[in-house]
């Protein structure tokens, strides 16, 4: 048999749910990052505005505090990116595992000893394609993949 895993990973309800959850989480993180960026920009303006009235020691302390907050914000951005990447990978891996189980069932029912991905096949009889059946069963069995953020 032959399967188009790209279609399975795009067209199934569970896949759409993964991408929707990812987009929602990404949007949430963008808002947090934007808020932090706005706070830092305002803090920087305040420091620059107050600089003429500050002693060198006060200015250096304010600058160091600002730089520490900037480093912390950059670390938060990196952590958010890693969380998104890990969540996406986990969701896709869970979906692939479910798709593999269903593909195995379809292959067994049709008497196929193996099922290859469409990318690995140059030419195949259309009747060997199990993609539609796998998508249909996956939609019936797996409505949503839970992602651990």
Per-residue pLDDT tens for 5-60?
Answer: 999 999 999 999 999 999 999 999 999 999 999 999 999 999 999 999 999 999 99
For residue 18, what pLDDT is reported? 96
How far apart, in Å, are the Cα atoms of 91 and each of 11, 64, 86, 126, 138? 15, 40, 8, 30, 14
For residue 72, what pLDDT is reported? 97
For residue 84, what pLDDT is reported? 96
Instruction: Please state the pTM of the whole predicted model.
Output: 0.81
For residue 119, what pLDDT is reported? 93
Interior CA angle at 26 toward 24 and 32, to 5°?
A: 110
For residue 49, what pLDDT is reported? 96
Position 87 pLDDT exceeds 90 = yes
Two structure tokens written together for 58: 């006060």
For residue 6, what pLDDT is reported? 95
For residue 93, what pLDDT is reported? 96
For residue 149, what pLDDT is reported? 85
Q: Return phi, psi of residue 110, to 5°.
A: -90, -5
């Amino acid at each position: 048999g032959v399967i188009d895993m790209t279609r399975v990973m795009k067209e199934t309800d569970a896949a759409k749910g993964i991408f929707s959850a990812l987009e929602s989480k990404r949007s949430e993180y963008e808002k947090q990052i934007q808020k932090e960026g706005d706070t830092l920009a305002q803090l920087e303006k305040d420091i620059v505005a107050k600089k003429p009235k500050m002693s060198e020691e006060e200015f250096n302390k304010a600058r160091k505090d600002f730089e520490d907050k900037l480093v912390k914000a950059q670390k938060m951005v990196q952590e958010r990116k890693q969380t998104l990447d890990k969540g996406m990978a986990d969701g896709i891996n869970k979906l692939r595992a479910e798709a593999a189980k269903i593909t195995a069932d379809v292959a067994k029912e049709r008497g196929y000893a193996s099922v290859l991905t469409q990318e690995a096949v140059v030419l195949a009889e259309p009747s060997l394609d199990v993609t539609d059946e796998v998508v249909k069963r996956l939609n019936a069995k797996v409505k949503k993949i839970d992602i651990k953020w």
